[in-house]
Structure 1
């Protein structure tokens, strides 16, 4: 495949997904789990897989899997038998988004996986063992509050009953949202058979930071994921009239919340960690009313477990101290937590050696962002490739990667697949080849 054809194929894939779930006002994406936008993305994935002769399955947790088998690569009803050999190589990412997210976070990994299969087929190559492209559901957790829900359910790190009872901002339960989309929420839970069929997982992702810019490199390999988690803070006080209640007579939880936000920034800076209050709801949410409740979510990340524990403890202590002064109360609930992830050294080093032989020096970098690859790392060898982000911006419509770097990412992923799956030269056959 020449460079022009390769660029055209990638551009067509990118264009075919670009409008799904995009808000015309902000330019950002609102692809929340089990909404119409998310279902449109799932249909897109199934259609693209079918166009390539790949067989698509949906597992008990709603994750999609598109199989390229070691035979002709054409569609087959024998995918179940073929994948039970237990040595499939999984690649892929996710298609859902944060509120007004960018186009690249997640979709770049899915599109690059499809494009890598196209590139290998164009070279006339065939896999020696099954290759499966994954689209994990609800990676961002934007609707129901738990990130990487699909992979957490798959691995049993998220309790099925807890997952079914999760509610979105409108009170809709996850179980009901899944049922409305034609999925069976009673089937949620750890999937040992699925996990036993996969031997490695490699996820390509846009970098969410500036490391590769500083290294002047189009692609890199992940070393680790910082430990991170989400904590819900419920600040409660007393609702009252904004125009008739003296300042000294108020029990205003907004003051406690505001002080906690400032404290979080200070504690994080001193501890070399990250702490962000990015989501908040207020009751009764009236311009001329003192709030009765402020509910806010803390996202915190750190280089190691001890530093994460320390900064969260300090933020909670600061919140409670301020609450006592304000005559308010605060309750804190840990909604999710992910331990530090060290990607499999053997797989990481093998990938880095493969890519260095083709592209020259490939940097190795840590990341503070969570990913499905980090969840699966508890069960099987996983690795990540990052594609340069020239602005360093992420979770915003301004998120971007240059087409040339994206194509380098596709080529890098194809080399990794060829190395790990034992792809061999073959003869193209039919439109699915």
Structure 2
């Protein structure tokens, strides 16, 4: 099947009628349905399916072994996300296997499609959860204790879904099988629009982190409490939202975003007792992201003190600058006939693996330039070009 047909096959799974787009999160009904769908598709192709200790799914063409050529992506989404972020890499990998089989190719090296668990962090807050656990970048005990918005821990959700959270953790045996990793992904920006190219390789990912700012004040009645008597944590939270924009705007090539804010108890006529917000900060260069966050934290501390509130800042995840393997990137470029190389501010599982194995990215043009939203898109011709290009890359690597 073509990649676009495979995408159409899952178009009804995990639709979010409230937000628009898709909400597919680790171990929820939609994500579990997609896991079953991928397993079925892999078995139709006579691939051997295995799920590792961290709930990542592997589909092997040939016997699992060291030096494997691995491709894949993820099936989960951000809340209200687009149809292509993640699934395009998985469906293109399946389509690439079909293309190679149709031309009679048989890999001399083991070849696998790898579907990572919770790349977006949409349910439990930590991005690239599956790849971080696999590589040991995330402590297993901390991971098991992560909670979703309903207070359910990752361990509880995994158990309910039939997995064994006590086995979560670094998996050196699985990691040692990967000879190289190539992830195809829809572009999350407009680089390929400006370059008028359907495809690009990835050169780097800028450093990025997620930070929780927790403000505590005094909950009270919105109508009966005089302004001068208030300790309202919503005010310093609002100061952080504004500071994220102003501080980032004053820092070259920086991004800082507050996309999630949770007041407690959350009533319209109630002064909040606590407010949690999550800051996403990204800027290239060693130490520049923590420095950016420190400036925003200074604003938060001053605003909290003025309102008589307390503040706790927790780093939930951080990844330094990633430069993809240059030899692998040049080889991909040669096979593809010369395509642009793009840096990105978007994180990927390939960026986590890059510290351990030669890793690379292949981007497919997004004509809207929009991602993490329902307007995310890719044209059928570009999707086909991406699957064909991925097949050429895998063929060269697995000879």
* Shorter-chain TM-score tier: over 0.9
1:228-283 Cα deviation digits (max 9, x unpaired): 01000001111122112222221111111111111111000101210011111111
* Helix, strand or coil at the partner of 1:105: coil
Give the drift of 1:17. 1.3
Match in the other structure for 1:382: 359
CA distance, structure 1, for counterparts of residue 192 and residue 138 of structure 2: 33
The whole-number CA distance in structure 1 between the counterparts of 2:57 and 2:267 is 43
**Is the 8 Å Cα contact of residues 4 and 383 (structure 2) preserved in structure 1?**
no
Cα contact 2:263–2:276 (8 A) shared by 1: yes
2:394 corresponds to which of 417, 424, 427: 417
Shift of 1:353: 1.7
Q: What CA deviation, in whole Å up to 9, does each residue of 1:87-113 have, x standing for no partner?
A: 110000000011011000000000000
Deviations 1:290-340 (A, max 9, x none): 111110000011112332122101000010011111211111000111111
- Deviation, 1:25, is 4.7
**CA RMSD of the aligned region, Å?**
1.1
Instruction: Quote the offset at 1:26 in angstroms.
Output: 4.1
The secondary structure found in structure 2 opposite 1:47 is helix
Contact 2:4 2:384 survives alignment (8 Å): no
Residue correspondences, number: 398
* Residue 22 of structure 2 corresponds to residue 45 of structure 1: no
CA contact 1:66–1:133 (8 Å) conserved in 2: yes
Q: What residue is the counterpart of 1:430 in the other structure?
A: none
Counting only pairs closer than 5 Å after superposition, residues 202-241 of structure 1 correspond to structure 2 as 202-241=182-221
Deviation at 1:68, TM superposition (A): 0.7
The reply on whether 1:127 has 2:107 as its aligned counterpart is yes
Q: Quick check: 1:271–1:307 contact (8 Å CA) kept in 2?
A: no
SS of the aligned residue for 1:406 comes to helix
Instruction: Provide TM-score, normalisation by structure 1.
Output: 0.90
Partners of 1:235 and 1:257 within 8 A in 2: yes
Counterpart for residue 406 of structure 1: 383
SS of the equivalent of 1:324 reads helix
The correspondence for 1:285, drawn from 266, 273, 277, is: 266
Q: 1:18: which partner in 2? A: 11
Structure 1: stretches of 5+ with no match in the other structure: 1-7, 70-81, 423-433
Instruction: State the match for 1:333 in structure 2.
Output: 314
Distance 1:102 1:9 in 2: 19
Query: What do residues 391-414 of structure 1 show as CA deviations (whole Å, max 9, x unaligned)?
Result: 111111111000101111011101
* Structure 1 position 310 matched with structure 2 position 303: no
SS at match of 1:258: helix
Equivalent residues of 2:85, 2:185 under 8 A apart:
yes
In structure 2, C-alpha distance between the alignment counterparts of 1:320 and 1:236, rounded to whole Å: 12
Question: Which residue in the other structure is 1:371 paired with?
Answer: 348
Aligned residue for 2:287, secondary structure, equals: helix
Which residue of structure 2 lines up, in the alignment, with residue 169 of structure 1? 149
Q: Which segments of 5 or more consecutive residues in structure 2 lack a partner in the other structure?
A: none
Cα displacement string for residues 182-216 of structure 1 (whole angstroms, at most 9, x for unaligned residues): 11111111111111111000000000001110000
Contact kept, 8 Å, 1:202 with 1:373, in 2: the verdict is yes
Pair 1:95-2:75 in alignment: yes
SS in 2 for 1:125: coil
Partner SS, residue 18 of structure 1: coil
1:112-191 equivalence runs, <5 A: 112-191=92-171
- Correspondence for 1:34: 27
Q: Aligned partners of 1:302 and 1:153: how far apart in 2?
A: 24
SS at match of 1:297: strand
The answer as to whether partners of 2:16 and 2:23 remain within 8 angstroms in 1 is yes
CA distance in 1, matches of 2:287, 2:95: 41
